[in-house]
Amino acid sequence: MNGLWLENLSLSFRGDLPVPELKSGEALVRVRLAGVCSTDLELLRGYYPFRGIPGHEFVGEVIAVAPGIEAAPWMKGRVVGEINLACGQCDTCRRGHPTHCEARRVLGILNQDGAFAEYLVLPIENLHRVPETVSDEQAVFTEPLAAALEIQQQVHIQPTDRVLVIGAGRLGQLISQTLALTACNLQVVARHSFQVELLNTRGIAVIDQDRVPQGKMDVVIEATGSPGGYQLARRAVRPRGTLVLKSTYKDEVSINLSSIVVDEITLVGSRCGPFPPALHLLEMNKVDPTALIQKAFALANGVDALREAARPGMLKILLRP
């Protein structure tokens, strides 16, 4: 099959990759559309030593299932898939936290070939059916939209809360749209004019980083992945406020732990999130991720696609296998 291959921080297009073989409990999925994420770009910079096919945001269709799985329910319509493959047996899995499985593999990130190819495999339990009224261009955002919703799984956002999102890129835009549904007092720090325009279209307030008040925000979400973004977030959050880290950092970030202790700040790391609520929001048209799409590339031009996605301020780039 055709696909993108990452090895030694070098990405290439290959036409000789083997179609993945099914193991017990798995489904073979033909990828219809895949999205480029900031984590994919960080892998190219050495965020994690991954060798294989990257990519974890996708919508596709099941074309085969392993023996013992009833095929008929899965062979119609389209699917999206949760990216963490859990063992189900370790202490963490038994406590009900499979996304932190001690032996987990992660689609396109850790020991599992991903979505930048014509086919991928996932456990059938990881798949979710896409509602008929949701387009491929909407469905491909399910994984990052779920990640945005994870914030509200971890932090109770009230309408009276003063909430600041720092970063209005691919994920920051989705976070902002989901938080706006809570009717909280929301403001977003955005650097680029088209990011501002997208937020204004949704009626979401934008604030210049130089005007962010210090120590006044109840909840601050850092979604830039930069040390400067963290420093701004730390200055903005009030004593006994909550700081949500929604970024992956390649390098270490300097943190003044004494100030965290003195101000009694709650730090929340936030990663993957719930797929069913994300699909429901898409089906009800409560969020509009398609406005984030800037370009779509054929898989054969995937190297150029990721190079384009790495440009400053670029939003969503898609691949069409």
Residues 190-236: tens digit of each pLDDT: 999 999 999 999 999 999 999 999 999 999 999 998 889 999 999 99
Strand stretches in 162-236, DSSP E: 162-166, 185-189, 205-206, 217-222
User: Which backbone phi and psi does 148 adopt, to 5 degrees?
Assistant: -65, -40
Q: Return the exposure string of 257-287: e unless at least 16 CB atoms fall within 10 Å of the residue's CB, then b.
A: eeeeeeeebeeeebebbbbebbbebbeeeeb
| Contact call for residues 168 and 199 (beta carbons, < 8 A) | yes
84-85/293-298 β-pairing: unpaired
**pLDDT, position 312:** 87
**214 within 8 A of 232, measured Cβ to Cβ:** no
For residue 34 the two structure tokens come to 């895949």
Summarize pLDDT for 13-34 with one digit per residue, the tens: 999 999 999 999 999 999 999 9
Domains annotated on the chain, with CATH: 3-129+288-320 (3.90.180.10), 147-269 (3.40.50.720)
pLDDT digits (tens, 9 = 90+) for 95-151: 999 999 999 999 999 999 999 999 999 999 999 999 999 999 999 999 999 999 999
Q: Which residues contact 316 (CB under 8 A, 6 or more apart)?
A: 35, 36, 141, 170, 289, 292, 293, 294
Amino acid of residue 115: A
Strand partners, 12: 5
| Mean pLDDT, the chain, whole residue set | 95
Q: What is the pLDDT of residue 262?
A: 97
Q: Give the residue ranges of DSSP H helices in 181-301.
A: 193-201, 227-236, 257-262, 275-283
Element holding 174 (H helix, E strand): helix 170-180
* Residue 250 reports pLDDT greater than 70: no
pLDDT (tens digit per residue) in 68-105? 999 888 988 999 999 999 999 999 999 999 999 999 99
DSSP bridge partners of 297 = 319
pTM for this one? 0.95
